[in-house]
Chains A and B, each alone.
Chain A
Amino acid sequence: LLQVVRNPMVEKPNKDGRPPTIEYQEEEILDTVYGAVLRECYSMYKLFNGTFGRAMEAGGVELLMQKLDKFFYRYLQTLHLQSCDLLDVFGGIAFFPLDKMTYLKIQSFVNRVEESLSLIKYTAFLYNDQLIWSGLEQDDMRILYKYLTTSLFPRHSEPELAGRDSPLRPEVAGNLLHYGRFLTGPANLKDPEAKFRFPRIFVNTEDSYEELHLIVYKAMSAAVCFMISASVELTREFCEQLDGLVGPQLTLLASDICEQYNVNRRISGPDKEPQFKFIYFNHMNLAEKSTIHMRKTASVSLTSVHPDLMKILGDINCDFARVDEDEEIIVKAMTDYWVVGKKSDQRELYVILNQKNANLIEVNEEVKRLCATQFNNIFFLD
């Protein structure tokens, strides 16, 4: 894959009639970010089409070109390169915080469904666009997560938010026993004529190379992905069986989670509103958390800080990537801001402080305090 990036340029007007000088601003672009975007293009292609090698084996260059054309035609339109930033470098997964008991109930649910429907190979459980459990390996989950949160879920949430009379409102399945429905596959189980198919994905491409049906089933804010070998034909009966088994249980679980979440919010107090702007990422489990980025919509991920600051974060990240050891970098940016980047073991933390009159020591103390309160569960080396 080849990516061509044109450096932004600025025209500097010259005096005395000479043509304006063109200044290329290479530092404005972060190679790591665009590199990451490129890698993600490939991962996303591979998720839905398998590797290039296999396509070549199956149908030569012609088949590969067809697949690439079909995929990238749509995919490229979804990219918003101007808003790509550090988070794209990480390609992380946001995990939903949950207490132990509810987590165990979810485990129990997943295990029982997998036992009843033995066709299911892998399961993933998400709530509110955040991951709770993945039976898939990390690398595959990472790209699947990106697809779910930036493409599939937004496509289905807009109709949900639409008004009662909107033509976008999904057909109520007529099932008053539960709120479960398919996001992929049969939109309306009641209609025996309606045809449906599930998207196919390719996982474990390094070793077992599996092609799977992707079933995404949702009830309220909880979404479950069931992955079944593509060699099996999934019939309407199977979908009805799944709907009957999963719908009620998932509805119950979703309201349990919601209740627990509200309880926890009340306990931890209203001051959980993050005063700190930070981005956290753990290379080990790909967990990411950002208080800078707003909720992602289908199109754009909004940030609440100046893009220049995001660029500084990207620079610090490049520095970190160059060495193996733990590091801490503190930058005074523009007039008002301090940016601190901390790397410990496999974790990276970036904090943006808006304190123009603070000095280095005060900034250091602030960050230490942040680590002690927000991150007291994990071991950060000073």
Chain B
Amino acid sequence: MESLGVLLMLPLNPYLESELDRRCKLFRLWQIPKASRKDFLYANSPSIRALVGNSAVGADADIIDALPQLEIVVLYSVGFDKVDLAKCRSRGIRVTNTPDVLTDDVADLAIALSIATMRKICSADRYLRSAAWKTKGQYVFTSKTMPIVDVEMPLNKDEMSRRHKGVIFSGKTVGIIGLGRIGSAIAKRAEAFGCFICYHSRTEKANTTYKYYPDIISLAKECDVLVVACPLIAETQHIVDRKVIDALGSNGVLINIGRGSHVDEAELISALVEGRLGGAGLDVFEYEPHVPGILFSLDNVVLTPHVGSATVETRRAMADLVLRNLEAHVMNNPLLTPVL
């Protein structure tokens, strides 16, 4: 693969980067100042035959046009919404992603966010840590060192109850939008908690015992926890809108491990602030890495920075899959996980 010119769109994984550097001719786009990128691409495009990106930075029409020798887009993600598939199709450019290897991690996170939100785990941890800066009820202002004191948990049962009482996740009704690999993995885990599973998707799935709702509003009305687990396509933009949020209601919890654009974020925020929605566990946002600050004061939300696949094990597996797809392409073997 030494002669294979690979354009890496952003820093993804130190192991992947060093392997690409070692085995291919690696071009690191983010190291080129934006003003010089056009020239850089023009100068190097004769050798660039592969592009490695992810769900944040893929391959749009402009970059594809700038790379006349581009043969393959290899994604370090399962989402390919940032790849101009139509353009790739017309140019005969192959596209691969990393399905399956991250299914478990994303499904795990959906359940972890559900429990953290409903049981107020992060809120309790935050409460204890903030209490550490107090001495006997007074905040300690320091310059050089922060005197950390042993904290006393409140013994007043009613105060404990007010702050830390959540709602149980086990036995609740979990509604899943999109019953693909990730949605099914979420369902299997939720079932171990005694949850009742229902779902919405474009078409009803054969071979499941889960209850199907052709109408997403009815799903939202019925469930206690609504999980977004579908791909982002034109039809699923803002699939969770005001109507769905209202149907989910003041006792309902929304979990988003899909894409920020699946949810009308402005409507979500006003529903949370006004108490029309019970809570939310969010791994994705409309304008990452920007998270609306108004959420920071809420105890009924849990916020994670798009870490659905962020484990050492899975990122390694994703990196290996990227490398194996590249190898297969170079050897003219069948691609392991083609999208196109």
Tell whether A and B belong to one assembly: no
Interface residues of chain B, those whose CB is within 8 Å of chain A, are none
Q: A residues touching B (Cβ–Cβ < 8 Å)? A: none
